[in-house]
Amino acid sequence: DAKTTQPPSMDCAEGRAANLPCNHSTISGNEYVYWYRQIHSQGPQYIIHGLKNNETNEMASLIITEDRKSSTLILPHATLRDTAVYYCIPGSGTYKYIFGTGTRLKVLA
């Protein structure tokens, strides 16, 4: 399984873009990268996933480097409700998500 490295915490001003990095240097060629977030006292919420190409949905954008060793989740206009722990999860199609400890994002008013 690919190992991931995420900064333990980040702050972002409300209304600004939040850029959350993830290093997954051991990811293999067929492994997707999934991003989830967990708001306090709630279950993990799916955000986005990608394989090689950049992806965008209504919640966020995902930028994956060409070598696929790292990715960045972008919340374009962070709000206070985006305060959460964000997890980057490389998955090989395995059903065993390995969450790690994630990045605690705090959006500041």
Partner 1 sequence: GAGVSQTPSNKVTEKGKYVELRCDPISGHTALYWYRQSLGQGPEFLIYFQGTGAADDSGLPNDRFFAVRPEGSVSTLKIQRTERGDSAVYLCASSLGVWETQYFGPGTRLLVL
Phi, psi torsion values for 81, nearest 5 degrees? -70, -10
Question: Is position 102 an interface residue for partner 1 (rule: CB under 8 A)?
Answer: yes
Tell which positions 5-44 bind partner 1, by CB under 8 A: 34, 36, 42-44
Nearest-angstrom CA–CA distance, 36 and 87:
5
Please report, as residue ranges, which positions from 71 to 100 form the binding site for partner 1 (by CB under 8 A): 87, 93, 95-100
CB closer to partner 1, 42 vs 53:
42
Please tell me the total number of residues recorded for the chain in this structure.
Answer: 109
Q: Is 17 helix (H, G, I), strand (E, B) or coil?
A: coil
Q: Applying CB under 8 A, which residues contact partner 1?
A: 34, 36, 42-46, 49, 87, 93, 95-102
